Every structure is written in C-alpha cells, then in structure tokens.
C-alpha cells in the first residue's frame, strides 16, 4: 500500500507558502501608507515584508522538492524544476514553477537594491503581482484541494484582500472631489466585481480530485499509474471446497 505522507506535507507547505505570499503582497501594498504607519514604523514593516518573503520561498521549496520522496507519481528533480516537464497536470504545475522563479527574482532584488537603484528596484518589484497571480492559478488548477470549502476561503480571502489593498493604494493618489471621486467609486465597483468573479469561479470548481488517490490515471504518466496492457496466457482452475 502506497503512503501519501509526503504528498500531504507538500499540500500543507503549498498553502502555507501561498498565505505567506499573500502576507508579503499585503505588506508591500501597505508600505508608505498612513493606515500602516499608524501601527508600525516604516522600517519595521519593510523588514517584515522581506522576512515573510523569505519564509514563503522556504515553504515553496519544501512544497516542491518534498515530492521527490513521494513514490506515487515518481517525480524526478527535473520534472519539479523545469516548467512543463511535470507528468502530472503539466501546464498547471508549470504555473507554480514560474511563480517560484518570479519569487526568486523579487527576493533577490531585496539584496541587490543598492546595485539596482531605487527606481529599477521598484519597477522590478511589480513582478510580485505576476507572482501572486501565477501562484493563485497554480493552486486553483493543480491543487487537489480545490473545491474544498476551507481552500476556497483561503483563495477568496487572499485574492479579495489583495484586490482591496490595491484599490486602496490606487485611490490614495486620486483627489477626494470632482472626477477623482468618480474614479474612487469606479475602483470600488471593479474591486467588488473581481472578488465576486473569483468567488463564482471557486464555487463551481468541483471537478478537482479531493485527494491524490482519486486522480485520473489518464493525467499521470508514471509507473504507479500505468495500465497493464500485456496479454496473459494460462489455465484457471476453480476448486470448490
């Protein structure tokens, strides 16, 4: 009987990494805002932002490479490292790989900030939004827990919170009266529509397997899931006791 403890560890580490990515994005969006500076000093928040990002990187590594010890699919290091080589849900897993590489670039920029300059560093940091979008897409399409209520809640809170914070950050730059007021209302409406669309998607996403054991063999090209197609010749004896 195949044990799935490494698959469970990978799933737990994946959700932990995703929540840490959301926390990092939230801290980044709250940088240099009055709302955040009422409670936390700017330098402290920046340190928290960097630390949480490093934690997300660590759990992402665990989420990925702990599967080398799982024998159900039999991943090798290249299939887990190079996008589109995975035998299990190829493009869906590739979105996670691309998110990981985007994370490496963003975190690397923390330590190269002095060499890059503030403007280049800030521009490069916008890759965080692509990172979050790719990680969300990876979780929704490749995750075996998609469709569970608690997983839906995590995605909804993370996406809704990110969109709300982004709208808040953008509205800070708009005037409080005149056309600026209309833009604020429009931004709030877009936020509601996006969050509602996200909720609708995850509520109807019911075709994902609940556990690895229920995954379709047609989507996995691995020794443990291959069908036996050879012919067998012999004699069957039936003994009645």
Contact 145, 210 (CB under 8 A): yes
Q: How far apart are CA 36 and CA 42, in angstroms?
A: 8
Q: What stretches of 32-177 adopt beta strand conformation (E)?
A: none
* DSSP letter assigned to residue 228: P
pLDDT of residue 121: 82
187-207 average pLDDT score: 58
Can you give the pLDDT at residue 17? 96
Helices 90-111 and 42-65, axial angle in degrees (round to 10): 140
| Residue 198: per-residue pLDDT | 61
* 214 — pLDDT class (breaks 50, 70, 90): very low
**Per-residue pLDDT at 166:** 83
**Cβ atoms of residues 46 and 199 within 8 Å:** no
Phi then psi dihedrals of residue 240, to 5 deg? -100, 125
Helix (H, G, I), strand (E, B) or coil at 94: helix
d(CA 2, CA 224): 9
- Give residue 35's pLDDT band: very low, low, confident or very high (50, 70, 90): confident
Q: Is the dihedral of CA 140, 94, 103, 67 positive or negative?
A: positive
Res 207: pLDDT: 44
Q: Reply yes or no on whether the pLDDT at 14 is more than 80.
A: yes
Q: Pick left, alpha or beta for residue 147 (phi over 0 → left; psi -120 to 50 → alpha; otherwise beta).
A: left
Report which of residues 7 and 238 the model is more confident about: 7
Residue 63, CB-side half-sphere exposure with 13 Å CA sphere: 26
Q: Is the dihedral of CA 184, 186, 190, 196 positive or negative?
A: positive
Measuring CA to CA, which residue among 136, 195, 134, 138 is closest to residue 163? 195
Instruction: With beta carbons less than 8 A apart as the criterion, state whether 191 and 167 touch.
Output: yes
- In whole angstroms, give the CA distance from residue 15 to residue 155: 10
Looking at per-residue confidence, does 203 or 110 come out higher? 110
Per-residue pLDDT of 93-111, as tens digits, reads: 999 999 999 999 999 988 8
Give the HSE-up count for residue 30: Cα atoms under 13 Å, Cβ half-sphere.
Answer: 24
51-65, 67-81, 142-156, 204-218: least confident range: 204-218
């Amino acid at each position: 009987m195949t044990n799935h403890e490494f698959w469970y560890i990978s799933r737990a580490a994946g959700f932990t990494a995703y929540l840490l990515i959301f926390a990092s994005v939230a801290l980044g969006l709250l940088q240099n805002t009055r709302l955040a500076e009422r409670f936390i000093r700017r330098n402290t928040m920046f340190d928290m932002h960097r630390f949480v990002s490093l934690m997300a990187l660590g759990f992402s590594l665990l989420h990925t490479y702990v599967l080398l010890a799982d024998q159900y699919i039999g991943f090798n290091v290249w299939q887990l490292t190079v996008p589109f080589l995975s035998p299990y849900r190829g493009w869906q897993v590739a979105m996670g790989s691309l998110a990981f590489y985007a994370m490496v670039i963003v975190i690397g920029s923390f330590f190269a900030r002095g060499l890059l300059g503030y403007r280049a560093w800030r521009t490069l940091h916008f890759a965080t939004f692509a990172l979050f979008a790719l990680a969300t897409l990876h979780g929704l399409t490749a995750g075996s827990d998609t469709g569970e209520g608690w997983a839906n809640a995590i995605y909804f809170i993370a996406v809704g919170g990110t969109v709300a914070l982004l709208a808040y950050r953008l509205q800070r730059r708009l005037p409080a009266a005149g056309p600026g007021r209309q833009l604020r209302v429009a931004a709030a409406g877009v936020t509601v529509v996006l969050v509602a669309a996200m909720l609708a998607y995850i509520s109807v996403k019911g075709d994902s397997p609940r556990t690895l054991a229920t995954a379709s063999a047609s989507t996995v090209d691995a020794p443990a899931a291959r069908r036996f197609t050879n012919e067998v010749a012999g004699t069957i004896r039936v003994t009645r006791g």
